[in-house]
């Protein structure tokens, strides 16, 4: 695996866990700190489910899904280690975010979310997330770009 993959994974996990530690320590539940009015706020929530509160209270199931995702992503990263950097960076971001949220579920029993984003009050673009979620989203976007760009070339051919 290229060095930059390991750097992304370590950086992603560390920055995610540090921001969650900061949020738990210095941002009380329910407190709102406006960063960009009407768009970005800091607002800590303890998320006992997944995105948009699906599977709320199913922490064991979500933890197991996270562990399985980490194993699969680790395998894919190893298997495709000589492919284009865009695919590897996307997989590394996905792995970092998955580990970050899995650590929360395993240690705390919930995921700490603290970044409230509101885009024009559109329901699916109005949510609270964390840096692990942002790494996961970035990873998905990069992998989709890779797949679309390489669709005619056999994107992940051996």
- Residue 145 contacts by C-beta under 8 Å, 6 or more apart in sequence? 86, 90
Q: Which of these, 99, 105, 106, lies nearest to 135 by C-alpha position?
A: 99
124 in Cβ contact with 137 (< 8 Å): no
Q: Is 113 an active-site residue?
A: yes
Q: Pick the catalytic residue: 33, 104, 133, 152?
A: 133
Q: At what angle do helices 3-26 and 131-149 cross, to 10 degrees?
A: 150
Q: Pick the catalytic residue: 16, 104, 113, 152?
A: 113
Sort strands 111-118 and 40-47 into parallel, antiparallel or unpaired: antiparallel
Strand runs labelled E in the chain: 32-36, 40-47, 111-118, 126-129
Task: Name the helix (H) or strand (E) containing 155.
Answer: none
- Catalytic positions are 113, 133
């Amino acid at each position: 695996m290229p060095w930059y993959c390991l750097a992304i994974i370590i950086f992603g996990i560390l920055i995610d866990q540090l921001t969650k530690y900061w949020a738990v320590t210095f941002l009380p539940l329910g407190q709102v700190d406006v960063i960009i009015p009407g768009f970005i706020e800091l607002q800590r929530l303890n998320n006992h489910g997944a995105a948009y509160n699906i599977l709320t209270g199913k922490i064991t199931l979500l933890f197991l899904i996270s562990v399985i995702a980490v194993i699969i992503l680790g395998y894919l990263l190893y298997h495709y280690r000589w492919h284009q950097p865009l695919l590897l960076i996307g997989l590394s971001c996905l792995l970092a975010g998955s580990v970050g949220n899995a650590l929360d579920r395993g240690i705390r029993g919930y995921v700490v979310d603290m970044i409230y984003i509101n885009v024009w009050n559109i329901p699916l673009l109005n949510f609270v997330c964390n840096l692990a979620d942002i790494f996961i989203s970035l990873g998905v976007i990069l992998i989709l770009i890779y797949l679309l760009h390489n669709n005619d070339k056999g994107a992940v051919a051996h």
